Amino acid sequence: MYTMYRLLVLWLLCVVASSKAFREEFRFASYYGDHMVLQKAPEQSVLWGYGSDGAEVIVSLEGEQENRKHFVLVQNGIWRVALDPMKAGGPYNVTAVQQGKNITQVTLMDVLFGDVWLCGGQSNMLFTLSQVFNASEEQAMAPKFPHVRIFMAALELSTMELLDLPRVEVPWSIPSAELLGGPKFTHFSAVCWLFGRYLYKTLGYPVGLVESCWGGTPVEAWSSHRVLQKCGLENQNLRHPYLSLNETKRNNSVLWNAMIHPILNMTIKGAIWYQGEDNTAYHQDKYACSFPAMIDDWRMSFHEGSGGQTAPDFPFGFVQLCTREKNSTDDSFPNVRWHQTADYGFAPNPCMKRTFMAVALDLPDEGSPWGSIHPRNKQDVAYRLTLGARAVAYGEKGVSFQGPFPVKVLLSGDSINITYTESVSVTRSKTIFEICCTEVKNNCASSVGWVPAPIMHWGLSYIQVSVAQCQNIVSGVRYAWRDWPCDVKACPVYSSDRVLPAPPFIVNRWPEQGGQEGYKVNKARSLKDDTVRETWHSQC
Ligand SMILES: *[C@@H]1O[C@H](CO)[C@@H](O)[C@H](O)[C@H]1NC(C)=O
Ligand SMILES: *[C@@H]1O[C@H](CO)[C@@H](O)[C@H](O)[C@H]1NC(C)=O
Ligand SMILES: *[C@@H]1O[C@H](CO)[C@@H](O)[C@H](O)[C@H]1NC(C)=O
Ligand SMILES: *[C@@H]1O[C@H](CO)[C@@H](O)[C@H](O)[C@H]1NC(C)=O
Ligand SMILES: *[C@@H]1O[C@H](CO)[C@@H](O)[C@H](O)[C@H]1NC(C)=O
Ligand SMILES: *[C@@H]1O[C@H](CO)[C@@H](O)[C@H](O)[C@H]1NC(C)=O
Ligand SMILES: *[C@@H]1O[C@H](CO)[C@@H](O)[C@H](O)[C@H]1NC(C)=O
Ligand SMILES: *[C@@H]1O[C@H](CO)[C@@H](O)[C@H](O)[C@H]1NC(C)=O
């Protein structure tokens, strides 16, 4: 039944995509090309393409390291091989030959082996290098990194899962100032490129960057039906507030179908993601479910699609939302920032294993020509992502990447003592910490009841805030819970070296479910203690 279905899908695709002759033409799939980077050992790189049914295909490598010849048969118009594990380096020529009366051959030239990273999300990922601060210097530097190679899928959508990319925006290329200097929101991503470039400096071997993203899109568009089903979003097609815009790309699964499903067969090392702005106004309350579920689903799908080569728990990095509007009292940005971490406040966490997060709320850009929702400082964003990748993806010891987070919140007398995971660098503020002040036990879910809790004292790794403004019960405490909490790199709490901002957090004494007493501010408990947090996270 499944096979029948698959055949039907293949047949439909074949009709949709092009003629039978095009399909039978002997070639690689759309995202294999000259100058590409294939995933290095220990994973095996997967290659596939099209051919004449029943014909034998021989795939071989020419270059520094030997690789045996691979023999496969074309089945249903498709052939596919997994190369032997290859150490990083190159260049190689990868040749596929189709046997038969009519022997045909295709060769990919100048192929490198290294780590392949996927870059996804919406407009802040699409944002090009020509739009960043110091754009011309950044562009001029591009050719100095010929071993960081780029590829970009074209913007396409589909109501069904596609086998191959319908179109390619940037074929595999050696970086140049021109390619990376594409006009705004086209060609290649600044965050993706800078991440790859910084990573290359620490790895010292080739990095392949595969960009597949689209501006103004919600997480639902990038998610399979499994994710939508899990989070109760399946029959919730498009009731989006921005009704006048072109809606199609926002529909459930349409970008998963056309821009992610086709590349599942490629072996990758990991992924980075910059998205969430769209969901501040669309199923915001579901994001703590949908985002972690999408990560898990991508992991499972890439693992299966590559025949087990891509790790089932591949590292996944993401950018926590930056800012939208100065002085705004709307709490949708703080809420989504929190939901991006499955409501833990930090990553990785028990619901989001092997993830890493770049905090960006201290990088606002009031003067951005593309609106303050598109800040021009992408260098720090990418750098912070790289720190996470080094620690989480590459297991490098001693790399800080998270920023200070509370481990203990203790209410005593007229103050709250917040103890952090690490030593902190503090600037005095009267308003950045807030407490929720209520007459009855209250989960403080709304923004009503929050009053400032001025910083009184601080030590190496603690901050004491005043609760003097509260005559009633202190029900919660939160930090930087605002759309635009501070000026550029001027938030009140950083790591001691001032590189990493403290992520925002919220602690409620009486969590939502049934008024049950869960976490208590006045009993010293670790925020990272899963048993305590279980009241908030009955399931991931
Ligand atoms: C790949 O093929 C080209 C053209 O035949 C040749 O110039 C080049 O040396 C080959 N590269 C390797 C690594 O064999
Ligand atoms: C052999 O294959 C090539 C390339 O696919 C094609 O152009 C040509 O027409 C084929 N020749 C025959 C005899 O089938
Ligand atoms: C909406 O987007 C689709 C896909 O890119 C495009 O084909 C269509 O022309 C767009 N429609 C409008 C009204 O912009
Ligand atoms: C969104 O998808 C649903 C179900 O597939 C479809 O009925 C609807 O027409 C789509 N809406 C748009 C704007 O594409
Ligand atoms: C790629 O992976 C997907 C998902 O597992 C699968 O449906 C598809 O058949 C695979 N394609 C090829 C060419 O192996
Ligand atoms: C934000 O508030 C500050 C202080 O109240 C004021 O000086 C500034 O003009 C406001 N900025 C905007 C963009 O509203
Ligand atoms: C831009 O360049 C200046 C001068 O080199 C530097 O101080 C600044 O940090 C750069 N900005 C970014 C965002 O990298
Ligand atoms: C706050 O807690 C830390 C330990 O977590 C302790 O060393 C410090 O003395 C406390 N500060 C105050 C003012 O109670």
Structure tokens at 471: 């005559």
Range 222-240 burial, b when 16+ CB lie within 10 A, else e = bbbebbbebbebeeeeeeb
Q: Are 122 and 259 in contact (CB under 8 A)?
A: no
Residues of the chain falling short of pLDDT 50: 1-18, 243-244, 513-538
Distance CA(147)–CA(197), nearest Å, equals 9
- Is residue 466 lining ligand 8, measured as CB closer than 6 Å? no
Question: What is the DSSP pairing of strand 104-121 with strand 270-274?
Answer: parallel
- The kind and range of the H/E element at 387 are helix 379-388
Pocket of ligand 1 (CB under 6 A): 62-63, 91-93, 109
Distance of CA 167 from the midpoint of ligand 5 (Å): 18
Taking CA atoms, 538 is separated from 175, 345, 531, 532, in Å, by 47, 17, 10, 11
Q: For ligand 8, atom 7, which residue shows the shortest CA distance?
A: 462
Distance of CA 301 from the midpoint of ligand 5 (Å): 9
Of 291, 385, 299, residue with least CA distance to 343: 291
Q: Are 212 and 260 in contact (CB under 8 A)?
A: yes
Q: For ligand 6, atom 8, which residue shows the shortest CA distance?
A: 327
Atom of ligand 3 nearest to the CA of 157: 4
Distance CA(421)–CA(478), nearest Å, equals 16
Pocket test for ligand 3, best of 238, 240, 246 (most atoms within 8 A of CB): 246
Distance CA(391)–CA(404), nearest Å, equals 16
In 10 A of CB 513, how many CB atoms? Answer: 11
Q: For ligand 7, atom 14, which residue shows the shortest CA distance?
A: 379
Distance of CA 52 from the midpoint of ligand 1 (Å): 27
At residue 237, the pLDDT reads 67
Distance of CA 125 from the midpoint of ligand 8 (Å): 41
Q: Which ligand is nearest to the CA of 267?
A: 5
Of 413, 123, 110, residue with least CA distance to 249: 123
Q: For ligand 3, atom 10, which residue shows the shortest CA distance?
A: 246
Q: For ligand 4, atom 6, which residue shows the shortest CA distance?
A: 237
Task: Provide the H-helix boundaries in 279-329.
Answer: 287-305
Write the DSSP assignment of 261-278 as a string of letters.
GGGTTS--SEEEEE--SG
Taking CA atoms, 474 is separated from 160, 211, 343, in Å, by 51, 47, 21
Task: Provide the H-helix boundaries in 142-238.
Answer: 177-180, 190-203, 225-230
Atom of ligand 6 nearest to the CA of 366: 13
In 10 A of CB 196, how many CB atoms? Answer: 30
Distance of CA 251 from the midpoint of ligand 4 (Å): 6
pLDDT, one tens digit per residue, over 141-157 is 999 999 999 999 999 99
Q: Are 26 and 51 in contact (CB under 8 A)?
A: yes
- Note if the bond before 511 is cis, omega within 30 degrees: no
Write the DSSP assignment of 61-127 as a string of letters.
EEESS----EEEE-BTTEEEEEPPP--SEEEEEEEEEE-SSS-EEEEEEEEEEEEEEEEEESHHHH-
- Is residue 379 lining ligand 7, measured as CB closer than 6 Å? yes
Torsion of CA 375, 381, 382, 388, to 10 degrees: -160
In 10 A of CB 104, how many CB atoms? Answer: 16
Distance CA(537)–CA(525), nearest Å, equals 16
- Coil, helix or strand at residue 138: helix
- Is residue 104 lining ligand 2, measured as CB closer than 6 Å? yes
Distance of CA 383 from the midpoint of ligand 7 (Å): 13
- Is residue 234 lining ligand 4, measured as CB closer than 6 Å? no
- The kind and range of the H/E element at 402 are none
Distance CA(271)–CA(278), nearest Å, equals 20
Range 516-540 burial, b when 16+ CB lie within 10 A, else e = eebbebeeebebbeeeebeebeeee
At residue 517, the pLDDT reads 40
Distance CA(507)–CA(510), nearest Å, equals 9
In 10 A of CB 368, how many CB atoms? Answer: 16
Pocket of ligand 6 (CB under 6 A): 326-327
Pocket test for ligand 1, best of 93, 94, 95 (most atoms within 8 A of CB): 93
- Is residue 247 lining ligand 4, measured as CB closer than 6 Å? yes
Q: Are 104 and 97 in contact (CB under 8 A)?
A: yes
Atom of ligand 3 nearest to the CA of 246: 1
Q: Which ligand is nearest to the CA of 250?
A: 4
Distance of CA 284 from the midpoint of ligand 6 (Å): 27
- Tell me the residue ranges of DSSP E strands in 393-540: 406-412, 415-420, 424-426, 433-438, 450-452, 455-458, 462-466, 473-479, 493-495, 505-508
- Is residue 135 lining ligand 7, measured as CB closer than 6 Å? no
pLDDT, one tens digit per residue, over 116-133 is 999 999 999 999 999 999
Distance of CA 191 from the midpoint of ligand 7 (Å): 15
The alpha carbon dihedral of 405, 366, 333, 212 has a sign of: negative
